[in-house]
Amino acid sequence: MTRPDTDDDLLLEVEGLSVAYQAERPVTACDGIDLQLRRGEILGVAGESGSGKSTLITALTRLQRPPASTTAGRILLHDQGRTVDLVGMTEDELRRYRWNTVSIVLQSAMDALNPVLRLGSQFADVIRANDPDVTTRTVLDRTTELLAMVGIPANRIRSYPHELSGGMRQRAMIALALACGPKLVVMDEPTTAVDVVMQRRIVRQILRLRRQLGFAVVFVTHDLSLLLELADRIAIMYAGRIVEIGTADQIYHRPRHPYTRGLRDSFPPLHAPLTRLQGIPGSPPNLVRLPPGCAFAPRCPEAIDACHDARPALRIIEDQQVACHLYDVADRDDVDDVAMSR
Amino acid sequence: MTVVDEPARSAQPEAAEPVLEARRVTKHFKVRDGAGRASVVQAVEEVDLALRPGRIVALVGESGSGKTTLARLLARFYPVTDGEIRLRDVAAAGRPDKAYHRSVQLIFQDPFGSLHPGHKISYNLERPLRIHGHATNRSQARQQAAELLERVGLIPATDFLDKLPHELSGGRRQRVVIARALAVRPEVLLGDEPISMLDVSIRLDMLNLLARLRDEEDLALLYITHDIASARYLCDDVAVMYAGQMIESGPKEAVIQQPMHPYTRLLVAASPDPSRRRAADGDDLDSLDAGPDEPPSLIDPPTGCRFHPRCPFAMDECRVQLPEPTTFGDGRWARCWLHQKGRSHELIPAAH
């Protein structure tokens, strides 16, 4: 397992996290997830529907409800010189971390905001929950300041959510998530419901606010091309597991896992010369009936015998992490050949 | 065939005659608000569009730009308020629906809602074959249904004929939807965001299928999308709509690589491009932060060019009237006052 140079730098460590949906036959939606997040880092999580990326988000924020439950693993949060494990915490204990340490931005702001409360009172709720003694004046000033950060004028404080445009609601959600100065903001497809122009604006605001305020982000989406522009590092999920982690540059220029490569090549370029692209044959697997080996093997153009027999573990290949039997040969020259031949 | 007196902007000397055309088409919807007050949504304003055999036109724009309304007008889901839809140079109005839909088929975004959930794939395909008289008995219908599945890459067809729609994945279901549209042997396919609900990894497959139908069967295709990169991959021409107005159109590389309307430029600049790393830090869109950030309401749209409240180049004329198209050769045109004022060059520096 990789560790950054200094442990002070680490904000979050996820170790062996598994989440299952309890049913007649339990479905493991996240299977042995290992992740590290540094302070101020933007980690993108890319995957298709059913890859477990949203399940991972609700597990990280401990917002999951039955039938989902965390069946194994730890979520270690390093903050103010202490390390806590979010997995074992009660709801009361968690409350001390919500909003001011970990906050969340959901996909549909219309559903996440209370439709019958004005924007201002929703901000007041959050600010007061963190600091009950704060004056009305301070609440108003703070709300104005937060909304200004995302380009929403102060006269919107008295608006109801339905009076705002979709893009404005989404930005209000981001402002709300930042209300108590969190160290980590978890974002679940925050831009899929808005148009590309607004999406670009939100992405730029996230980057600018991160630079100003220094929070870390876990950003989940199916849109890898968006992550390539936004994220520092990207984790690729497939069928409930992480199959590769690398920097945005590595994922784009030197994807190691055949699935990552297929996913990258599923996004036609906007300006580069056009070539015929193939996508990935077949469909994502059904989590109830996963193959015994690598879940991607049935669709993989390079699958070898080992792929059908055993699940590959996520391990370090040079400075990337990849779960693929093609890299079983320990010899570094070979590894480079495999990567370079792509 | 009669010679069509086409507007200069869509004339392409060597191009085939259009199969389906929208000429100065306008659509206004009457709506009532919660208090019962009537108002009019000006969804599509004087739009021209021509679809030709063996060519794909991508219709791009943000949500609410009128793309879907235009497709539904072309499919005759509702009548036009003004202007005309022409099929094979004959006015579409007044023709029987069945005959019209034998030529023009619409594919929806949602493959889950487009097939009868209680019937097998074979039924879903055989029904249009029977209704349109392409098959006269059961075994013929089944035979043709199998051929349709093979044409859209569902092989062997016998694996799919007796399945119910919910037993298929989203990508396969969308293939069945396309197969059903092909069952009537149409000349025109209108695809309203046909891939946006599919998983990323199977979208390209669907685009390649549509390209094959164009190349091998000479279909005329309209591909509606908000994803410029997929439009560039699939189509031949791009038409750009903003708030109900068609503001630019032409061969895809011309329009995407050197937009001639400020809105097209904004749309292309905002689209994700995997090869552009961290352009977001470069703040190349700062000038846009000043104006409104989203398209206007179509109940009370801005006068003149509807983009003017967001446009960095807006001048007095823009608030009064949308200019006539300026043509640039290759069948390319844009409706922007910059060109009328000899200021076209101001658009070029920011183009890629």
A166–B contact, CB cutoff 8 A: yes
Query: What is the per-residue pLDDT for A6?
Result: 53
**Surface of B (193-212) touching A: CB under 8 A:** 199-205, 208
As to burial, measured by CB atoms within 10 angstroms (0-12 exposed, 13-18 middle, 19+ buried), residue A21 is middle
Q: A261 CA to chain B: closest CA distance, Å?
A: 11
Percentage of residues in chain A with pLDDT exceeding 70? 94
Which chain A residues are Cβ-neighbours of B205 within 8 angstroms? 278-279, 281
User: Buried (b) or exposed (e) across B222-252, using 16+ Cβ within 10 A?
Assistant: bbbbbbbbbbbbbbbbbbbbbbbbbbbbbbb
Q: A266–B200: do the CB atoms touch at under 8 Å?
A: yes
pLDDT-derived band at B14 (thresholds 50, 70, 90) equals low
Long-range contacts of A282-285 (CB under 8 A, 24+ apart): A283/B169, A283/B170, A283/B171, A283/B172, A283/B199, A283/B202, A284/A48, A284/A49, A284/A50, A284/A51, A284/A238, A284/A239, A284/B169, A284/B199, A284/B201, A285/A239
Chain B nearest-CA residue for A164:
B294
Three-class DSSP category at B4: coil
In this model, does residue A4 exceed pLDDT 50?
no
A240-296: per-residue pLDDT in tens? 999 999 999 999 999 999 999 999 999 999 998 999 998 888 888 888 888 889 999
Closest-CA residue to B88 (of B26, B25, B21): B21
pTM of the model: 0.86
Query: Which residues, at least 6 apart from B58, have a Cβ–Cβ distance to it below 8 Å?
Result: B223, B224, B225, B231, B232, B234, B235, B237, B238, B239, B252
Query: What is the per-residue pLDDT for A308?
Result: 94
| Strands across the sheet containing B90-91 | B38-51, B20-32, B82-87, B90-91
Q: What angle do CA B149, B152, B154 make, to 5 degrees?
A: 55
B273–A contact, CB cutoff 8 A: yes
As to burial, measured by CB atoms within 10 angstroms (0-12 exposed, 13-18 middle, 19+ buried), residue B29 is middle
B188-226: per-residue pLDDT in tens? 999 999 888 888 888 898 899 999 999 988 999 999 999
Q: A315 CA to chain B: closest CA distance, Å?
A: 24
B133-170: per-residue pLDDT in tens? 898 899 999 999 999 998 888 888 888 999 999 888 88
Q: B96 CA to chain A: closest CA distance, Å?
A: 38
Which chain B residues are Cβ-neighbours of A251 within 8 angstroms? none
Q: B256–A269: do the CB atoms touch at under 8 Å?
A: no
Q: A196–B257: do the CB atoms touch at under 8 Å?
A: no
Interface test with A, best of B33, B199, B228 (most A CBs within 10 A): B199
Q: Cα separation of A238 and A282, whole Å? A: 14
Instruction: Lowest mean pLDDT of A327-336, B46-55, B126-135, name the range.
Output: A327-336
A55-79: per-residue pLDDT in tens? 999 999 999 888 899 999 999 999 8
Q: A48–B200: do the CB atoms touch at under 8 Å?
A: yes
In this model, does residue A3 exceed pLDDT 50?
no
Interface test with A, best of B176, B195, B200 (most A CBs within 10 A): B200
Residue A204 near residue B283, CB atoms below 8 Å = yes
B297–A contact, CB cutoff 8 A: no
A and B: number of Cβ contacts within 8 A:
146
Query: What is the per-residue pLDDT for B105?
Result: 94
Average pLDDT estimate for B272-287: 58
B137–A contact, CB cutoff 8 A: no
